[in-house]
Amino acid sequence: MITDYSERLIIQEVSPRDGLQIEPVWVETVDKIKLINELSLAGFSRIEAGSFVSPKAIPALRDGEEVFQGITRRAGVIYVALIPNLKGAQRAIEAEADELNLVLSASQSHNQANMRMTREQSLSAFGDVVSLAGDSSIRLNGTVATTFGCPFEGRIEEDVVMRLVEAYLELGMQGVTLADTTGMANPRQVYRIVQRVLDRLPASALTLHFHNTRGLGLSNVLAAYEAGARRFDASLGGLGGCPFAPGASGNICTEDLVNLCDEMGIETGIDLPHLLAMSRTLPSLLGHEMPGQVVKAGRNGDLHPLPFGSVR
């Protein structure tokens, strides 16, 4: 198949949720709001702005209500909230999230570690969420975490993933995300699974969520794009990780992904200089260096002066 690189790649920015959930320092509500407002101006059409989970499980995001109430909503931007159960859905709807991202894991053991439920209990709770959402305009997306591998169980059978995708479709979800929670995916596997899932869903309903834990994040994006996927999660600075998955580390880095797309001529609609300026503010906010690379190296086109005395 010859890939048409003129098709836009849509990035959902997840740093306010996946990025901050694992950070040990408390980020003030006002700083979370500022981050989301800046992201809204950088060109994203979708921002995962927080989660409504147990504050004991994820203390870093316990201020979800204040964050959603405090942000300046930009027309055309969908503000997503991650939820694990009915209580999370009630809180997110009350806080006027535009979309609920319901999460369960393909692996039974990671679902237990992360959600303290079996997959079946998660799906049953999601049935209640669908009833609650009813005829409202709120959108629903279902995530299958550990799709490409689990830190407790290793390889996950593709048929298990497909059954969960089917379950989400039966529940009436508008979108499905396949998540590589601890960066275990490889491009060949990604290509195969994306092709399989795109037999069941249009590309506009499928999102890929990669972590760069083993350095394969952007390779996996390209493999997914070449298999027909067009929507990807990414996180400013390469922040991110699931606190209930041993060895988890950052999401693919948004500015590195946008740089890749800019270089290849794949349109994203995201303003890279704006993103890089934002990324430079993260170390002082969070107290450590970021894994992202383009912010350190500069864009390909950022040329350097010749050393003194050299002749070009």
Report, as residue numbers or ranges, the catalytic residues: 242
Residue 276 CB, nearest approach to ligand COA (Å): 27
Q: How far is 141 from 205, CA to CA, in rounded Å? A: 9
Residue number, 55 or 202, with CB nearest to ligand COA: 55
Q: Three-state SS for 112?
A: helix
> Is 78 in contact with 139 (CB distance < 8 Å)?
yes
Residue selected from 31, 38, 57, 169 as contacting ligand COA according to rule CB under 6 A: 57
141 binds, among Zn ion, ligand COA, none (CB under 5 to 8 A by kind): none
Residue number, 18 or 256, with CB nearest to Zn ion: 18
Number of residues that bind ligand COA (CB under 6 A): 20
CA distances from 307 to 180, 249, 301, 304, 311 (A): 44, 38, 18, 9, 9
Of 81, 76, 74, nearest to 98 by C-alpha is: 81
Amino acid identity at 70: G
Residue selected from 15, 85, 141, 146 as contacting ligand COA according to rule CB under 6 A: 85
Q: How far is 12 from 21, CA to CA, in rounded Å? A: 16
Place of tokens 């379950």: 167
84 binds, among ligand COA, Zn ion, none (CB under 5 to 8 A by kind): ligand COA
Q: How far is 183 from 216, CA to CA, in rounded Å? A: 7
Residue selected from 49, 103, 144, 206 as contacting ligand COA according to rule CB under 6 A: 103
Residue number, 110 or 231, with CB nearest to ligand COA: 110
Chain contacts with Zn ion (rule: CB under 5 A):
18
Chain contacts with ligand COA (rule: CB under 6 A):
21, 51-55, 57-58, 82, 84-85, 87-88, 91, 103, 114-116, 242, 244
